Structure 1
Amino acid sequence: MDIKFSAFLRTSYSSNRCRRNSAGAALLLAMMSLAGCGEQTAATPARAAITLPSVNTLELKQVPAYEHAQTFTGTVRAGNTTGLAFELAGKLDALTADTGDRVRKGQVLAQLDTSLLQAELKEITAALAQNESDLALAQRTLNRSEELSKESYVSAQQLDEVKGQQQSLQAARQRLLASKSATELRLQKSTLVAPFSAALSKRQYNLGEVVPQGSPVFTLVEEGNPKAYIGVPVDVARELNNGDTMPLTVGEQIFNATIEGISAEVNPVTRTVELRMSLPLDARVFNGELAYLDYRKTIAAPGFWVPVSALTDGVRGRWNIYVVDSRQDGKFVERRDVEILYTDKQRAYLQGALSGGERVVANGLHKLVSGQQVNPVSPVAAR
């Protein structure tokens, strides 16, 4: 065999053996690595600890009754809100008050043009003067006729005619006096005066306009006599009496209002009975403001107060809560059906398969299922 060819065979054999040795070593290292990983994975569950969900709880305390609070709405109105008008038509000649003014009782607010009435009064006055003159002459004629009648110089017929004329003049005088009185009354009613101390909330007419009879020129809102008119259900009205004092809220102000009157009929639209309530005389309120009456009634029914966050909806429209059940192997939540008797903004008063001293989950119910083991922490006291 050729010497060069023999050397080539030896070199090729050595290379192939080296490659096989390297591949075997790599395979051995991979198997050792997988074995190590398998041992570590199998050991991990044995070393890990189970974390229980933490829940806030409260202790149930049974109470014999609850206070049912209701709020009823009404409006504030002055004791007198009047549309002030002239009793006769005429042209508006003067305005001495305007919107927003405070006026006192008897103050002049407006005046009609009285030129025609003044002329009528002068005419009546002149007729009265003439009547007085005619009446004086008739009286003197009657006196002379009576003297002459005694001496038979005047017949009975003539005497009766003189007496009739004198009586006719007296009747005319009475008519003239009545006309004068009526004209003076119309003159008086041509001046508009405030019937009570008030705030002038609105003016309807301007100077020079002809005001129809009975059309309001001003709207007056009485001051110092605020009232509230509140509609309440019939069953609530039966519980109330005149003189009862109750809290009334107007805006951000709270007043002790007194019931002055309870309506004797039910409003056909709202099906409520209207209460008339007086506010303090110094109450700073505006006509038409909303008023809210707080009505509270104690209802005897044993139950438990819980926060609204402790409630969750159940099947068939029932409400549920979660009660923490203590067992030997831990604490577990249990779902209970309850009946809600009353709720306010933050709490609910309920009855159900509950006992005083039990602990219920206060919030976070969406994370729980019945029978789940939990870790009760941060207990809160029931109010």
Structure 2
Amino acid sequence: MTSTSELAPTCVPALPSSVVSKPSPQPWVLWLLPLALFPTGVFTARHSFIANAEPTPLATTLSVTTQPAQAINSYTVQRTYTGEITAQRTSELGFERSGTVVTLLADEGDRVAAGQPLARLDIRNLQARRQERVAQRAQAQAQLQELQNGPRSEDISAAQAAVWELEQELERAKRQRDRRQFLYDEGAIAYEDFDDAAYNTAILEQRLARAKSDLQELNNGTRSEQIIAQHARVQQLDAQIQALDVDISKSVIYAPFAGKVSDRPIDEGVVVGSGATVVTLVEQGNLEARIGVPEDRVSQLKVGGAQKVQIGDNTYRATVTAQLPEVDETSRTVTVVLQLPADVATQVGQTARLLFADIEPTDGVWVPSTALVPGDRGLWSVYVLGDANNSENNSTYAVARRDVEVLHTEGDRTLVRGTIQGQDQVITNGTHRVVTRQTVQVTSE
């Protein structure tokens, strides 16, 4: 009888997955792998060869036109700087004193001549004050004349008579005083009576002394100090009258130069303060252009030199008259003042452009703009005539390519630099049909 242990299946321990090996490929698979990769390698190598190889020259000979490249070491750039038209003189005119505007003699847009009155203030109070000063001067002048002429003979005679009369009264008073003193000494009268007589005598003595002094003054004539003081008084009144005349003259605004009234913000009846703008006058005929020029370019504009200024569609020759010493903080430019011709028909405030020919020192070659074709890495290229293939009938050339960098464009030509040389013949037409080493013949140069 078979035992249970013999009938039970045998248990084998499981191996780790890392120990279990993958089934190895069949040998015929390894032979097929190189065959599958071969077409891909052939295609990649052929594509790389085609991309790097020069274009294959065509057998057809093309006819092209050429132009010689022009080598230079500098070129001229036409730069434009913008400014505005201004008048040589623009004045905001006002009164130097306050007052009421009674007359306005010019309106906006009117042309006025130099010295023409434009506005007037009320001057009635000034005229009244002037009349008062004139009367005071006349009085002072009469007094001065009297002092200069000296005392009259009649005044001297009257003074002499006054002295004689006082002398007589004094003699009588002295006799009366002496009699009363005798009576007082005898006890016939009171002391008061004697004192009255003595007092009257003393008063008459003082009056006589004063009269004699006045007579002496008349005999000596007028003192020079009095004449000088009175003369100064007359001069003082003359100065006051002159000051009033100046105020009256300043009550009228006169045109300081010939021009046109651009603004008149005040009407009649308005009380204006000193310095308030009544009329704005712009000079006509002498116009200037004020244009900002960079600091590094302004040295090329000499004072007195002629420059081209464009106003609208017209171009004029202007003369540089000044270069302002300040640099504009915003634009960092120097203001150049140019005098325009007298016959320029333009308005103040119009835009003006300075056409400035600037010379740029650089080495390059001028080529026609039609000769440029796009190149690699942002550059441009031109096709030129390479080696010549001489034959009995005509000459043909192999096309060569020159990579260039564009420096400046001017009209139908472009300034470039690069591998091109000054003696190269540049192909100017049909560049879209030309490739490197293409055989071409020149139809016209």
Residue 343 of structure 1: aligned partner: 409
Aligned length: 324
CA distance in 1, matches of 2:279, 2:411: 45
- TM-score using structure 2 length: 0.61
- CA 1:208–1:250 in structure 2 vs 1: closer, same or farther (change >3 Å)? same
How far does the alpha carbon of each residue in 1:316-364 deviate from its partner, in whole angstroms, 9 at most, with x for none?
5x43134267799x99987643233323465431111113443356699
Does residue 261 in structure 1 map to residue 322 in structure 2?
A: yes
Deviation at 1:69, TM superposition (A): 1.5
Q: Is the 8 A contact 1:78 1:287 kept in 2?
A: yes
Does residue 105 in structure 1 map to residue 105 in structure 2?
A: no
Q: Give the stretch that moved more between structures: 247-256 or 295-304.
A: 295-304
Aligned equivalent of 2:298, options 237, 242, 247: 237
How far does the alpha carbon of each residue in 1:26-50 deviate from its partner, in whole angstroms, 9 at most, with x for none?
xxxxxxxxxxxxxxxxxxxxxxxx9
- CA 1:342–1:136 in structure 2 vs 1: closer, same or farther (change >3 Å)? same
How far does the alpha carbon of each residue in 1:63-122 deviate from its partner, in whole angstroms, 9 at most, with x for none?
424222211112211111111222212111111111111111111111111111111111
CA distance in 2, matches of 1:219, 1:58: 65
- CA 1:351–1:77 in structure 2 vs 1: closer, same or farther (change >3 Å)? same
Does residue 353 in structure 1 map to residue 419 in structure 2?
A: yes
Deviation at 1:378, TM superposition (A): 11
Residue 97 of structure 2: aligned partner: 88
Q: Give the stretch that moved more between structures: 300-309 or 191-200.
A: 300-309
Calculate percent identity across the aligned residue pairs.
32
3-state SS of paired residue (1:297): strand
Residue 130 of structure 1: aligned partner: 139
Read off the aligned partner of 1:90 and give its amino acid letter: G
How far does the alpha carbon of each residue in 1:228-259 deviate from its partner, in whole angstroms, 9 at most, with x for none?
12222233222232221121111122111111
- CA 1:208–1:152 in structure 2 vs 1: closer, same or farther (change >3 Å)? closer
Q: Is the 8 A contact 1:55 1:376 kept in 2?
A: yes
Q: Is the 8 A contact 1:57 1:377 kept in 2?
A: yes
- TM-score using structure 1 length: 0.70
Read off the aligned partner of 2:69 and give its amino acid letter: K
CA distance in 1, matches of 2:63, 2:275: 74
Does residue 59 in structure 1 map to residue 119 in structure 2?
A: no
Deviation at 1:220, TM superposition (A): 1.4
Residue 26 of structure 1: aligned partner: none
Unmatched 5+ residue regions in structure 1?
Answer: 1-49
Q: Is the 8 A contact 1:142 1:162 kept in 2?
A: no
Read off the aligned partner of 2:130 and give its amino acid letter: L
CA distance in 2, matches of 1:68, 1:134: 85
Residue 295 of structure 1: aligned partner: 356
Deviation at 1:199, TM superposition (A): 1.4
Does residue 117 in structure 1 map to residue 126 in structure 2?
A: yes
Q: Is the 8 A contact 1:324 1:331 kept in 2?
A: no
CA distance in 2, matches of 1:165, 1:134: 10
How far does the alpha carbon of each residue in 1:170-197 deviate from its partner, in whole angstroms, 9 at most, with x for none?
2221111101001011111111111111
CA distance in 1, matches of 2:372, 2:215: 117
